[in-house]
């Protein structure tokens, strides 16, 4: 195949645009923050499960404290009733029984209050544990929100770069002969497609060509379309090729 040196040089511009398009497309599909966001989501799920456990412990303690407070209220009511009866009783035997019951109720209340104090201390620790876990979740959410916002910015920028490079490629490709562009597209599947030969080196694969390959290129016509023997890219020759 033959093509003007100018059209061949345009292929290198196409290759550069294709590289930009691939890079931008990868960036918009896989922003660097995405993996960390997924890690934070998994971490938040673990934190939430632990929070559920801690909330359960706290709720159980609240129920237990409420039960003790209810028992204390019952004891107080019964003590008040017995004290009132004792104050108006004229029966020594009844008075003795009431005094005994009041003493028993006092011991019961003391035990309940000891238990109440213990549960309140445990509840205070449980409240602190819940608050600690909620703070960790809030921090994780904040990190996730920040990373998500950054990822959206990266995606937006990559999308804009992708669209701009695609427009430029379309405009440039329109001026290249169809058969030459078709050959480039075929070769670009497994190589850079087209690259300059500079200082006897293919810039598509960065390999220095052998003397034999360089002799073949020296003998080729200026408009001949030649390929790199190493990577298969179209080699675009210029005054800097070293031939």
190: pLDDT strictly greater than 90:
yes
The predicted pLDDT at position 20 comes to 96
Q: Is residue 51 part of a domain?
A: yes
Pair (216, 100) in one structural domain: no
Q: Is residue 169 part of a domain?
A: no
181: pLDDT strictly greater than 90:
yes
CA trace torsion 169, 175, 178, 179 (10° rounding): -100
Across the chain, mean pLDDT equals: 94
For the chain, how big is the Rg over CA atoms in Å? 42
Pair (103, 9) in one structural domain: no
Question: pLDDT digits over 17-66, tens only?
Answer: 999 999 999 999 999 999 999 999 999 999 999 999 999 999 999 999 99
Domain that holds residue 231: 5-25+174-237
Q: Is residue 122 part of a domain?
A: yes
Pair (83, 143) in one structural domain: yes
The predicted pLDDT at position 145 comes to 94
Q: Is residue 242 part of a domain?
A: no
The predicted pLDDT at position 192 comes to 94
243: pLDDT strictly greater than 90:
no
2: pLDDT strictly greater than 90:
yes
124: pLDDT strictly greater than 90:
yes
Mean pLDDT along residues 232-239 = 94
Taking a C-beta distance cutoff of 8 angstroms, is the pair 58, 77 a contact?
no
Pair (17, 55) in one structural domain: no
Pair (44, 81) in one structural domain: yes
As a whole-number percent, the residues of the chain with pLDDT over 70 amount to 100
Q: Is residue 195 part of a domain?
A: yes
> Distance (Å, rounded) from C-alpha 175 to C-alpha 155?
31
The predicted pLDDT at position 141 comes to 96
Q: Is residue 103 part of a domain?
A: yes
Mean pLDDT along residues 145-169 = 96
Mean pLDDT along residues 131-147 = 96
86: pLDDT strictly greater than 90:
no
Pair (93, 148) in one structural domain: yes
Pair (100, 203) in one structural domain: no
Pair (16, 40) in one structural domain: no
Pair (132, 95) in one structural domain: yes
Q: Is residue 145 part of a domain?
A: yes
> Distance (Å, rounded) from C-alpha 191 to C-alpha 145?
40
193: pLDDT strictly greater than 90:
yes
Mean pLDDT along residues 79-94 = 88
Report the predicted TM-score, pTM, of the whole model to 2 decimal places: 0.68
Boundary of a domain, candidates 163, 190, 217: 163
Mean pLDDT along residues 197-205 = 95
Total structural domains in the chain? 2
114: pLDDT strictly greater than 90:
yes
Task: Return the minimum-mean-pLDDT range out of 74-78, 88-92, 116-120.
Answer: 88-92
98: pLDDT strictly greater than 90:
no
Q: Is residue 113 part of a domain?
A: yes
Mean pLDDT along residues 148-158 = 95
């Amino acid at each position: 195949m033959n093509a003007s040196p100018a059209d061949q040089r345009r292929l290198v511009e196409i290759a550069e645009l294709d590289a930009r398009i691939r890079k931008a497309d990868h960036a918009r599909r896989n922003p660097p923050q995405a993996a960390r966001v997924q890690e934070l989501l998994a971490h938040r799920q673990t934190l939430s499960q632990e929070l559920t456990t801690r909330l359960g412990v706290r709720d159980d303690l609240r129920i237990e404290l409420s039960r003790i407070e209810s028992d204390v209220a019952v004891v107080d009511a019964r003590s008040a009733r017995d004290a009132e009866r004792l104050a108006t009783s004229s029966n020594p035997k009844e008075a003795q029984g009431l005094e005994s019951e009041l003493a028993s109720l006092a011991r019961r209340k003391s035990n309940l209050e000891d238990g109440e104090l213990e549960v309140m201390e445990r509840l205070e620790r449980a409240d602190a544990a819940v608050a600690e876990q909620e703070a960790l979740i809030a921090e994780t959410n904040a990190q996730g929100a920040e990373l998500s916002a950054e990822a959206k910015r990266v995606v937006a920028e990559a999308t804009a770069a992708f669209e701009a490079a695609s427009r430029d490629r379309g405009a440039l490709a329109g001026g290249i002969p169809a058969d030459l562009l078709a050959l480039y597209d075929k070769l670009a599947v497994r190589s850079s497609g087209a690259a300059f030969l500079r200082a006897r080196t293919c810039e598509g694969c960065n390999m220095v060509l052998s003397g034999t390959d360089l002799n073949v290129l020296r003998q080729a016509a200026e408009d001949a379309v030649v390929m790199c023997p190493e990577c298969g890219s179209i080699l675009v020759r210029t005054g800097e090729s070293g031939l």
